Amino acid sequence: TSIDMYREDNPLLAEYVIVSPHRMKRPWQGQTEQPQKVELPQYDEKCYLCPGNERSGGIRNEKYTSTMIFENDFPAVLPPPGPKVPGQIHPLLRSEPVQGNCDVLIFHPRHDLTLARLAPSDITMVIDEWKAVYVKRGSQEGIEYVQIFENKGAMMGCSNPHPHGQVWSLSQVPQIPSTELSNLKEYAETSAEASPGVPKGPGGKRCLLCDYAHLEAEQGERIVLQILPYKRHIPSLLELTKEESTSLAEILSGIAIKYDNLFQTSFAYSMGIHQRPVPPSSNSVGEEEDVAHLHFHFNPPLLRSATVRKFLVGFELMSEPQRDLTAEQAAQRLRDCADTKLHRKMCGIFAVHGIQESAKERKKMIACSKRQRHRGPDWSGCYVGKEAILVHERLAIVGVDTGAQPLINDDETLILCVNGEIYNHLALRKELPGNPTFKTHSDCEVIHHLYKQHDKELCNKLDGMFSFVLLDESVTPSRIIAARDPIGITTLYQGWSSQHPER
């Protein structure tokens, strides 16, 4: 059920994660974040990464037209000869030298773009640059590992919104990829022969990630998007075919757009590539690093809304990771988001109840509703009832099949204005008795049927971010219900007439 909790194994890191989905309904009065600013200029004269601008270290950027890479002006790791390590005074106070390079890779000359807004062809050029810097740094003497990553969003510590990532090359293999490689090797050495049809790793042995990708692709429940590379063992970016590189660009574009559409914001994350630590040398065929399997990590800080950040504190710092969202729930929410078009719209609802001669007030109420338009809406849907008016603001291009409101049931007695998303609408539809008819594909239409079955207790059935007003014209006087999600992700304001508060 929705309140089940459990520990889930992550075999790649040999650690467990506690999953507590019932905590998604926990009220939140803690810190909130400012949504990522969307409207940025195409060129910012104060940006250190825009073409032709001077960086903080005094070096002037090229007037690049696609991608650009340069050594970080403030590197975390220094090239050889690195600084000396303090002398060891006790075995418990051990330190060791580390050296390498830190590079910055700019994805595009335009300041206002992100992976979600780049064309797949532009992302393909970024992938080509990843390959080039992986070869360049990974072939240098003393370099044992190359880490490619991107931090997006101020809440993830990104110091500049211009689309860019980083590449750190190190003289040591860091802890997390080292743990992954160790577990991949152990799985390959101790597992039985792979099942027919499942890709194999080096030496014909089983690969943990090949087995995992094949299993998930068969089950489908936790798959968001599929690409070609899952069909064979690929140690690094260098082994991708041209077709697979194109497919990878499409998947990166698609998942970034889905993240943006999830909360209607420029979604923050940390993304990193794990692959073979360094490219193989001419005589390195069969090296144990070939157990590595190319994969990407996306770590998003936003699980509830665009403003409520997930902090790793307390139990998670002292014991083990914990999540309020199951992998299946997360995959379903992302699958439900479009991956080919960014939907940044700020819809709104407006309702007035207990008014006399409602038809005469229609024009005035639409004018009032239009004042809440922001960043997109250009169309008003209106319902005039016996003593109520409901108005919905949306983009005119949003299809009638999913976006036109108010939503009216078959006998025109229930009228609904809603803003937000009901995450569990498909599960709720299956639970409804009598196989009821739905007029649209809107995830919110299920509220009509839940009201008939549960009255105002329907709110306890909903999982999502929403505010709604439901008008029941089947009774006299007509009845109205207003509600929002328990956290208040989607805001709802109520007011009463000073002249007739009883209405």
Please list the active-site residues.
Answer: 164
Q: Which of 334, 318, 338 is nearest to 326 (CA)?
A: 334
Name the region of 371 (left: φ>0; alpha: ψ -120 to 50; beta: rest).
Answer: alpha
**Radius of gyration (C-alpha) of the chain in whole angstroms:** 27
Tokens describing residue 246:
């194109």
CB-based contact 275:248 (threshold 8 Å): no
CA distances from 185 to 279, 293, 443, 470 (A): 18, 11, 45, 58
DSSP tag of 360: G
DSSP 272-328: EEE--SS---TT-TT-GGGG---EEEEE-SBSS-SS-BPP--THHHHT--EESS-HH
Tokens describing residue 285:
């065929």
Q: Note the Cα 254 to chain centre separation in Å.
A: 11
Q: How many of the other CB atoms lie within 10 Å of CB of 9?
A: 10
Q: Note the Cα 294 to chain centre separation in Å.
A: 20
**What's the rounded Cα separation, in Å, for the pair 186 and 168?**
27
Helix, strand, coil distribution of the chain in percent, nearest 5: 30, 20, 50
Helix (H) or strand (E) holding 125: helix 120-138
Name the region of 153 (left: φ>0; alpha: ψ -120 to 50; beta: rest).
Answer: left
- Distance spanning both ends of the chain, measured CA to CA: 40
Please say whether the dihedral angle defined by the alpha carbons of residues 358, 363, 365 and 369, taken in this order, is positive or negative.
Answer: positive
Residue tagged 């990166």 (tokens): 252
**Paired residues of 269 in beta bridges:** 152
What order do you get walking across the sheet with 414-422 strand by strand? 407-408, 414-422, 464-472, 479-484
CB-based contact 131:67 (threshold 8 Å): no
